Amino acid sequence: MKKSTQLTGMKAEKTSLREYPRKIGRKVKAKIKGTNKPNRDSRSFRDFSGFLKNSMISPVIHAPFREQDKRCFATMENISKYLESMALTNMDDLVTVVLPVHNRVGTVRSSIESVLNQTYTKFELIIIDDGSDDGSDELLKSINDERIVLMYNKERGGVSKARNMGLESAKGKYVAYLDSDNMWDPRYLAAMVGAFKKLPDADAVYSGQFLYKGDNKHPYAVRFGSFNRSLLNNRNYIDINSLCHKRELVENVGVFDESLERLVDYDLILRISESAQIYSVPVLLSYYYFDNAENTITNIPGYVSYLETVREKRDIRKERKSRELSNSGPTLDQGVSIIIPNYEALEDLKECFNSIQELYGSEVEVVVVDNASSKPVTDYLDDMADNNRIKLIKNVVNYGFTYAVNQGIEISKPENDILLMNNDSILTPGSIEALQKTAHKLSDAGIVVPQQVLPAETKTINEHVPFAYSWYECDVNLSKAHNNIINVPVFHSGNVVELSFAPFFCVYIKREVLDSSVGLDPEYGRHYRSDRVYCNFIRHIMNLKVYYVVDAVVYHKLQKSTDDLSSKPSKGTSFDLMFKKNQWDEELAAELGYKKPVWDF
């Protein structure tokens, strides 16, 4: 099959598939209002398992703290003791602490003392004075400890240059960072080293933090999020003062970007998350102070422009990786049939199909089941079928999502795995491969789903992810609205997440799982509900699991077919029956042999 070089349906200029995320994700440049404080009502957890899953989408807990919060914080204290004990049994690994200073005579002593008082004593503290002229230089020279290494910039070069000087001289196996207006609990380094001992494949680890304003004695919030790479792409929740990484990591991801004045930590953490193994460590041993010094980076104006710069750099890296994946061609180890139930939405359907064609060509089978769309849509589909690009079923009535999916599966190649896709979803390079790899690697995988990335300013973003910036694209398959995150590991890499349910906008099902199940249920779930029923069956009857895979990214333009149907003159009957009542009319039910259940009234 000849591969398409552009997506149809996009306006104005040609748009390659690799560039599509930019167009869908970046609508506005200046929409930050306050701090997007999460709604306290989202704090519905009662135990530590609930805390861990809640933290993936709401990583900030504001005071006053509930008893349920305090139970979880106390558990984190126990984890701190456990990790500290692992590290202190054998202090054989040197840790380099990098601490830049510029005119912080009023705060830097406390920061330094918090390092010198660490229970893990095998460290070097590299302090870089970045052109201070307020007496910080004299103060630094007055602190005597053989573990301190003093370095100087005669002229101020900025925090990134200072940190890079420290990195260049670092001798430790691990590197940690502390700003000159923040502090650590005495157990911080021990807990981080203990985490590396506990997690031998970790390249980087990070902890939670207490957040303070000014000189207040009590924190106004706690910040900790079990690692969620998709949320990190939307908004940062990991601070450099709570991050520790292997020294050699900078050889792969690079050092701090000296062209940035703000968000330098976010830029580095994004690069680490893209190419290294990072784990969240649920301890609260870092103390972050807002407004504790006058010359903080957060007081530098132009946050939005720096955020845009960081994201532009990230997009360039993503496009480079996408290009590499596209150039290498499909690497599927098992045949795949893509089933697309369709109603209207011609332009969305074209974009969906072209994303499949550009990435996979004839390597996958595409089956479209159309539910009585208008002539322009069916003409397009007929042409696709005539050219052997799709298998096509054209229904004369709108049977709904579930029945159409089953029709498509029925005519698909019996040896192929199944990928169900909405007609307004768009694949990105490597997405099917990532789903397939997980489905076949994990023996208990029943259903595997990707990131479901909604366009910027989609109205439902914060219903799913309370912490997210709604004005930027966001994955919503990890969802507060669905309350679907379960069994989050204490130390979490975020690569795979177990779910109780995932909406069937895009799902991968192994053929043997499908054949061993009863299939999707159109009788009791004509248009919705069948995805929940199938997830329940997979989990509770077949004892399999629903997995979310962060490396698979699929964009979702969200319910365009539903909007088309709701705008039809016949909305009162077709729309209400299918979307509000999820029922069959008597004539269709009789034709299909379906009965209305006694509980559906």
DSSP 319-342: HHHHHHHHHH----SS-EEEEEEE
For residue 344, the model assigns a pLDDT of 93
The helix, strand and coil proportions of the chain, stated in percent and rounded to the nearest 5, come to: 40, 20, 40
**Mean pLDDT of the region 476-486:** 97
For residue 40, the model assigns a pLDDT of 47
Distance of CA 505 to the CA centre of its chain: 17
- Tell me, yes or no, whether 275 and 360 share the same domain: no
Minimal CA–CA distance to 450: which of 480, 481, 475?
475
Residues facing 394 on adjacent strands: 370
pLDDT at position 466 over 80: yes
Is 12 part of a structural domain of the chain? no
- Which percentage of the chain shows pLDDT scores above 70? 89
Taking the C-alpha atoms of residue 426 and residue 355, their distance in angstroms, rounded to an integer, is 6
- Tell me, yes or no, whether 296 and 342 share the same domain: no
Count Cβ atoms below 10 Å from residue 558 Cβ, excluding itself. 19
Stretch among 32-46, 195-209, 448-462, 583-597 having the lowest mean pLDDT: 32-46
Is 15 part of a structural domain of the chain? no
- Tell me, yes or no, whether 413 and 498 share the same domain: yes
Is 135 part of a structural domain of the chain? yes
Is 4 part of a structural domain of the chain? no
Taking the C-alpha atoms of residue 368 and residue 408, their distance in angstroms, rounded to an integer, is 7
- Tell me, yes or no, whether 523 and 424 share the same domain: yes
- Tell me, yes or no, whether 314 and 333 share the same domain: no
- Tell me, yes or no, whether 128 and 90 share the same domain: yes
Comparing 568 with 510, the larger pLDDT belongs to 510
- Tell me, yes or no, whether 267 and 349 share the same domain: no
Phi-psi domain of 519 (left: phi exceeds 0; alpha: psi -120 through 50; beta: other) = left
Is 376 part of a structural domain of the chain? yes
Per the prediction, the chain carries an average pLDDT of 90
Phi-psi domain of 495 (left: phi exceeds 0; alpha: psi -120 through 50; beta: other) = alpha
The answer to whether 370 touches 358, Cβ cutoff 8 Å, is: no
**Mean pLDDT of the region 428-449:** 97
Count Cβ atoms below 10 Å from residue 35 Cβ, excluding itself. 9
How many domains does the chain fold into?
A: 2
Distances 305 to 19, 33, 232, 256, 268 between C-alpha atoms, Å: 21, 15, 18, 18, 17
Tell me which residue has tokens 């799709």: 390
Per-residue pLDDT tens digits for 70-95 = 999 999 999 999 999 999 999 999 99
Domain stop point among 318, 347, 377: 318
Minimal CA–CA distance to 488: which of 44, 92, 47?
47
Domain stop point among 318, 350, 370: 318
Q: Give, in degrees to the nearest 5, the angle at Cα 460 between 459 and 466.
A: 115
- Residues 6 or more apart in contact with residue 42 via CB below 8 angstroms: 54, 58, 466, 480
pLDDT at position 380 over 70: yes
**Mean pLDDT of the region 414-424:** 97
CA trace torsion 523, 527, 529, 533 (10° rounding): 50
Stretch among 99-108, 271-280, 380-389 having the lowest mean pLDDT: 99-108
- Tell me, yes or no, whether 290 and 254 share the same domain: yes
Is 405 part of a structural domain of the chain? yes
Is 323 part of a structural domain of the chain? no
Taking the C-alpha atoms of residue 240 and residue 265, their distance in angstroms, rounded to an integer, is 6
- Tell me, yes or no, whether 441 and 293 share the same domain: no
The answer to whether 151 touches 178, Cβ cutoff 8 Å, is: no
- Tell me, yes or no, whether 334 and 192 share the same domain: no
Taking the C-alpha atoms of residue 558 and residue 79, their distance in angstroms, rounded to an integer, is 41
- Tell me, yes or no, whether 432 and 523 share the same domain: yes
Comparing 447 with 15, the larger pLDDT belongs to 447
* CATH assignment at residue 305: 3.90.550.10
Taking the C-alpha atoms of residue 453 and residue 473, their distance in angstroms, rounded to an integer, is 6
Taking the C-alpha atoms of residue 68 and residue 475, their distance in angstroms, rounded to an integer, is 28
For residue 429, the model assigns a pLDDT of 95
Helices then strands, each counted (H, E), the chain: 21, 21
- Tell me, yes or no, whether 86 and 141 share the same domain: yes
> Residue 578: pLDDT band by 50, 70, 90 thresholds?
confident
For residue 566, the model assigns a pLDDT of 57
Per-residue pLDDT tens digits for 157-182 = 999 999 999 999 999 999 999 999 99
For residue 329, the model assigns a pLDDT of 83
Beta strand pairing call for 545-556 and 496-499: antiparallel
Domain stop point among 318, 348, 364: 318
Taking the C-alpha atoms of residue 491 and residue 199, their distance in angstroms, rounded to an integer, is 8
For residue 511, the model assigns a pLDDT of 97
The parent domain of residue 215 ranges over 56-318
Stretch among 38-52, 162-176, 369-383, 520-534 having the lowest mean pLDDT: 38-52
Residue 64: cis peptide before it, omega within 30 degrees of 0: yes
Is 512 part of a structural domain of the chain? yes
Distance of CA 97 to the CA centre of its chain: 29
